[in-house]
């Protein structure tokens, strides 16, 4: 089953390959006689012709493929993001080249993609000050950041509204009567870390509450637990903790228990992201819910708009919601 080439179609339709090419091509179809177009299309259909993206790419330097860089594919966050991107692009015929910046360094990941002439790039791996992103902004294919963004760079980003998200969590806790509210922040190198921290700080100022913050060295359970332990020791009067993400929140659970106190009744805890099964841990964790699949789809949409030369917003903020569960209810545990 050898590949059917444009030449085959042209021969079958008894025209020159250039004519066949024009007939097949939406944009140039107008210049060839309708009758000829019909004949070519029929033969192409009959033979099952499918244009070779490689050959076309060589000539046009467009590959109908876009590259995406994910920092850590094992993180359950990124599955839905990739799914959203893939679905958003598939409709327009784009394929997805994926690289994880764990197996390469980020710049190698990007280079391996640009080497392959991707038409666009979606990065989920951006850090706050990211030389790779800066270079891409100057020269490189159209790029969209997703989930995280980079400061002082003119590249569109599709991210969650962290300020709103933190406000949802804090307001909920305040409503439940808490005034000594702590925050376990994520790493400062990522916008999701620093933005949530700043949002929290701003709200505490507004409410006139004391600022009780500890930074975790990573967005995982372990760092969350140690940071929370520090905070709980330093400020035993705390009654609620806003965690920078779900895993840190689970770390907080652990620290709270180590301190001989109870999650929910003694100390309310909120997570962020609302990953799967967070409603099944004990107690079910209240969390800011981010629609990651939608975020991916939106990023695809923005990138497609750029590729079509439409203008598009430089930043898209997605509104999170709050999933209230028992970790912030005083009732039982």
Instruction: In whole angstroms, give the CA distance from residue 277 to residue 44.
Output: 50
Position 30 contacts a second copy (CB under 8 A): no
Say how far apart CA 36 and CA 39 lie, in whole Å. Answer: 5
State which of positions 284-303 bind a second copy (CB under 8 A). 293
Among 46, 116, 210, 234, binds a second copy (CB under 8 A): 116
The one among 59, 103, 154, 332 contacting DNA by CB under 7 A: 59
Site for DNA in 10-39 (CB under 7 A): 14-19, 21-22, 24-25, 27-28, 31-36
Q: What is the DSSP string of 67-86?
A: EEEES-TTSTTHHHHHHHHH
Q: Match 């090419």 to its residue by tokens.
A: 21
* 257 binds a second copy, rule: CB under 8 A: no
If one counts every other C-beta atom within 10 angstroms of the C-beta of residue 14, the result is 12
239 binds, among a second copy, DNA, none (CB under 5 to 8 A by kind): none
Q: Of the ranges 54-62, 63-71, 264-272, 277-285, which one interacts with DNA (CB under 7 A)?
A: 54-62
Q: Which residues, 6+ apart, have CB-to-CB distance to 1 below 8 Å? A: none
Task: Quote the Cα angle for 145-150-154, to 5°.
Answer: 75
Q: Which is nearer to a second copy, 17 or 73 (CB)?
A: 73
Q: In angstroms, what CA-CA distances link 316 with 62, 86, 88, 153, 293?
A: 26, 19, 16, 15, 15
Binding a second copy (rule: CB under 8 A), the pick from 115, 309, 310, 311 is: 115
User: Is residue 151 close enough to count as binding a second copy by CB under 8 A?
Assistant: no
- d(C-alpha 267, C-alpha 152), whole Å: 38
Tell me whether residue 48 or residue 333 sits nearer to DNA (CB atom): 48
Question: Which of 200, 272 has the CB closer to a second copy?
Answer: 272
Size of the site for DNA (CB under 7 A): 32
**Beta carbon nearer to a second copy, 70 or 238:** 70
- Which partner from the list DNA, a second copy, none does 100 bind, CB cut-off 5 to 8 Å by kind? a second copy
Strands 321-323 and 286-289: antiparallel
Tokens 């599955």 -> residue: 79
Kindly indicate which of the ranges 120-128, 141-149, 278-286, 301-309 contains the residues binding a second copy, using the contact rule CB under 8 A: 278-286
**31, 18 contact by CB (below 8 A):** no
d(CA 34, CA 87): 35
Handedness of CA 170, 172, 178, 179 (dihedral sign): positive
Shortest Å, Cβ 11 to DNA? 11
Point out which span in 1-9, 71-79, 157-165, 314-322 binds DNA (CB under 7 A).
1-9
User: CA-CA distance, 204 to 241, in Å (whole number)?
Assistant: 13
**Binder among 11, 47, 56, 317 for DNA (CB under 7 A):** 56
**Residue 55 beta carbon to a second copy: minimum distance, rounded to whole angstroms:** 6
The piece of 37-45, 57-65, 161-169, 302-310 that touches a second copy (CB under 8 A) is 57-65
Closest alpha carbon to 306 in 163, 180, 119? 119
Q: Is 174 in the site for a second copy (CB under 8 A)?
A: no
Interface residues with a second copy (CB under 8 A)?
Answer: 1, 50, 52-55, 57-58, 63, 65, 72-76, 78-80, 82-83, 86-87, 90-91, 95-100, 102-104, 111-113, 115-117, 139, 250, 275-278, 280-282, 293
């Amino acid at each position: 089953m050898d590949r059917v080439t444009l030449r085959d179609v042209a021969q079958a339709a008894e025209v020159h390959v250039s004519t066949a090419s024009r007939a097949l091509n939406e944009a140039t179809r107008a210049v060839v006689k309708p009758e000829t177009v019909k004949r070519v299309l029929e033969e192409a259909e009959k033979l099952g012709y499918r244009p070779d993206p490689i050959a076309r790419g060589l000539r046009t330097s467009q590959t109908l493929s876009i590259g995406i860089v994910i920092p850590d594919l094992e993180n359950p966050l990124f599955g839905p993001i990739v799914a959203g991107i893939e679905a958003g692009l598939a409709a327009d015929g784009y394929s997805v080249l994926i690289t994880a910046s764990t197996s390469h360094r980020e710049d190698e990941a990007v280079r391996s993609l640009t080497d392959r002439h991707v038409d666009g790039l979606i990065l989920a791996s951006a850090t706050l000050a990211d030389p790779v992103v800066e270079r891409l902004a100057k020269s490189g294919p159209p790029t969209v950041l997703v989930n995280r963004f980079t400061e002082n760079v003119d590249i569109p980003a599709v991210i969650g509204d962290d300020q709103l998200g933190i406000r949802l969590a804090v307001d909920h806790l305040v409503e439940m009567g808490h005034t000594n509210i702590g925050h376990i922040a994520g790493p400062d190198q990522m916008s999701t870390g620093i933005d949530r921290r700043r949002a929290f700080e701003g709200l505490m100022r507004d409410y006139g509450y004391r600022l009780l913050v500890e930074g975790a060295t990573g967005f995982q359970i372990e760092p969350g637990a140690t940071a929370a332990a520090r905070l709980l020791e330093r400020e035993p009067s705390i009654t609620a903790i806003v965690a920078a993400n779900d895993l840190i929140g689970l770390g907080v659970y652990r620290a709270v228990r180590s301190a001989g106190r109870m999650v929910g009744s003694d100390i309310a805890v909120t997570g962020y992201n609302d990953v799967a099964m967070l409603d099944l841990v004990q107690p079910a964790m209240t969390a800011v819910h981010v629609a990651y699949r939608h975020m991916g789809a939106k990023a695809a949409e923005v990138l497609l708009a750029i590729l079509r030369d439409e203008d598009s917003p430089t930043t898209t903020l997605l509104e999170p919601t709050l999933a209230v569960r028992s970790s912030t209810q005083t009732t039982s545990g």
